[in-house]
Chains A and B, each alone.
Chain A
Amino acid sequence: MNVNSSVSPSVAGHVDRTPSPLEVAANVITEFFCSLQSELVGAVFYLTGNGEDARDIVQEAFMKCWRSRAQIEQIRNVRAWIFQVTINTAKDHMKSAWKRRSRPLASQQWVAYSEAPDPASAAAENEQLNQLRLAIMNLRSKQKEVFLLRQNGELTYEQIAGILHLPVGTVKTRMRYALQELKKSMSETVHPR
């Protein structure tokens, strides 16, 4: 292969093409979903209690966002928007009577992220984690929603208030209750007094 045909055209080919706004928008959405998938699936998983569905719901949310990619310029915070769409998709899903009977705390394949260096501390960490997971699952749904939007979505309380149509004070109160519950669940096991 000679130099001119192999190198220059490809350089030219790749640099001369500026992506259209729609392409950029789709790009942004795909990137956000790829990088946030653990957070999104985690949030939906705890809301619906079903791991299998969570994946599908997140994918459905992705399609919803993708279809409205033309409006992305008007969206101030894409991350918040994606969480809003995903949470709403999950809620719609739960409203449907068929799917309400979800299995709580699904199968073993939902393995924890573990950063513990050795098996022994991994086991201890896992026990704590499972305890905490159960506690998250058992939160009241209103508190759970706020907690997940804050913890996984990293939305500000104002953004959460906007999404849920609630006063900021109410959101903060729910968050506080949620955290108190979670902390209690841990102190019962981890810090026996």
Chain B
Amino acid sequence: MKQSCKHIQDESLNYQFGLCDDSDQARIENHLQTCGACRAEFERDEDFGPLLKTAALVDIPPIHFAPRAIPVADSIFHCIPGVAMLLNPRSPLHKYVQNARLVAVLIVSIALHLLVGTFLLNFELGSVRRGSITDYSIVTTVEEEFIDQEQLDRIFDELETDVEQVAMEPVAVVLDADLPPMDVPDVGPELQGAIEQDQPGEEEFQDAMDAVRDLALGERGSRVIAVSNDDFSSISSYRIRLDPRLRTKQGLMRGASRQTENAVLGGLKFLARTQRGDGSWSSNAEAVERGNTEVRGDHDTAITGLALLSFLGAGHSEATGKYRPAVSKAVNYLRRTQAENGSWLNGGRMYGHGICAMAMSEAYGMAGAKSSAAQSAQLGINFIVQSQGEGGGFGYGGPGEDTSVTGWQIMACKSGEVAGLKVPEEAIDGFVRFLNSKVDPETGRTGYRSPGKGSNAMVAVGLVCRLFLGQQPGKNPVLAKAAEVLNKAGPNPRDCYYDYYATLGMFQMGKGHWKEWNERFSLALVARQSRLGSFAGSWDYKGITHADRGGRIYVTAMNVLSLEVYYRYLPMYR
């Protein structure tokens, strides 16, 4: 026994410091369960692993990794091997190059050619690309990189001055005002022709902003959401997603990068690839892993809702974007699978319903009159309102006390409200009542079924719901406490559900929370994305909490939503 303990203890140093291979892990964990002495030893030193991890890192100003200077020289020599030979002192030709001026002339000539070439290329592509600011793809051939880098710099300069020019005095916006008309004809996706002519342009957007500002100066309603005028209003929130320029601007202002945007594009590409003919996605984790997306799972409607949300979050709607057909198909699928009472309860129960109602509300909010989701979304919201429990909450089967399930209903109603759907005041009051009944005001933790007791994911859900229900960070200490809990816990690579909510919450908390969270979260998530083969663009689901019920598609949709945080919703309180 003693001998085996010694052995385990040697090996388990690795385990203890989080440095153990998976194969050894199970064995050591087994031993720890039976051997109290070893366990005590471990508990004494449990802080050591994180400390060691920190110690091995160094904090330095960020390095800008860009292959620019050297590749240009490389490529010149590769393109013109003769020059390389002439310039190489070991080459037999070198002795003929006695005159240094000849070399200089050669270099100048090459440089000129290159310059003219680049200019022409730029000119030629300019017609398409000059306005294109969402072209994030990192390119590596010398000429293309030159163009893109220039272009990106230009956009940066332009947008930065833009951002400075915007005045910052806070403006309050009455949400219920200026609603789009509710009486929307139920139309399919065959409106393609009309679509091009009716996308929100900058002027139109400016008008909307002005209108919002005017409204704010007038009557103030009971539920006022404060925003600053550079942040636009929640009404315009969907419009920001729709306009690539505004989206990019928002993204850049809030910490998005080429990497995060590339990851979003990759994720959406994967989702588009795995969508089935009927517009749905598979929640069958094993089948998808084998490459078969046709096999039904238990939560297909819920997963379809999530995937749809991730397309909507990047500006693809029934009327806009490359993935317009995918979005239309998904909306149609959800319309077809909705029960007569407005519910989507087949699989995922109330969870699935909240997700689908949220997705349909956003689909309607983004495409307006061109959306076929309006009625379905309103029916979905109505079902939520009817099913709300006495305490304001929901459970798997309807009324209940489950914070996680309730979170989706709250977000659905919020999305519906922003889209102009009818959400009764009493339902909102119920949500607030429910959240208040689940929070421990001392710690700021929102519990799962009882106050303050639950995972960090529930803390994040609570925070996000409060923010979206209009509670301001400065006014309710619970919000700051919850954000502190999340900040302390940090992003969790094994829980995309928690990460999604926490990222959304930290983004809305803004100052003092967001920057650090974003740094800890986004690039690490990007680095975990699969890059090669048929899973390129997706994220692995193994080892991720709850992910066995939705598999790779679930994890990918959640992560894409997290990476869209920069422009998906506008910051409400700054």
Contact = CB atoms under 8 A, between A and B. Distances in A.
B37 interface: no
B57 interface: yes
Nearest to A59: B63
Name the interface size band of chain B.
35 or more
A10 to B, nearest CB: 4
Contacts of B523: 31, 34-35
Given A42-B57, A63-B70, A19 B129 contact: no
Interface in A168-183: 172, 175-176, 179-180, 182-183
A99 to B, nearest CB: 19
B524 interface: yes
B10 A10 contact: no
Interface string A87-131: 000000000000000000000011111110100000001001100
Contact of A13 (B135, B321, B526): B135
Contacts, number: 199
B79 interface: no
B196 interface: yes
A17 interface: yes
A150 B532 CA distance: 24
Given A41-B58, A42-B57, A1 B201 contact: yes
Given A23-B138, A157-B21, A175 B57 contact: no
Interface stretch (B46-54, B173-181, B462-470): B46-54
Name the interface size band of chain A.
35 or more
B476 to A, nearest CB: 21
B17 A26 contact: no
Contacts of B137: 17, 19, 23, 27
A66 B48 contact: no
B214 interface: no
Interface string B520-541: 0001101100011000000000
B57 A113 contact: yes
A175 B14 contact: yes
Contact of B13 (A13, A28, A176): A176
Given A1-B202, A151-B52, A31 B14 contact: no
Nearest to A156: B21
Interface in A28-65: 28, 30-39, 41-43, 45-46, 51, 54-55, 58-59, 62-63
A147 B56 CA distance: 9
A35 B524 contact: yes
Most central of B53, B136, B139 by chain A CB within 10 Å: B139
Contacts of A13: 128-129, 131-132, 134-135
A45 B58 contact: yes
A162 interface: no
Interface string A2-17: 1111111111111101
B135 A17 contact: yes
Nearest to A130: B55
Given A3-B200, A38-B58, A129-B55, A10 B132 contact: yes
B314 to A, nearest CB: 11
A6 B48 CA distance: 55
B190 interface: no
A182 B204 CA distance: 63
A138 interface: no
Contacts of B17: 151, 179
Given A10-B245, A63-B67, A117-B488, A39 B57 contact: yes
20 contacts: A1-B201, A1-B202, A2-B201, A4-B196, A7-B201, A7-B243, A15-B322, A31-B527, A34-B523, A37-B63, A42-B56, A51-B58, A54-B58, A117-B488, A136-B56, A148-B56, A151-B53, A152-B56, A152-B57, A175-B14
Given A9-B131, A17-B137, 7 more contacts: A1-B203, A14-B132, A26-B139, A35-B526, A112-B59, A113-B54, A136-B56
Which 5 pairs show the lowest CB-CB distances between chains A and B?
A: A13-B132, A15-B322, A26-B140, A3-B201, A35-B523
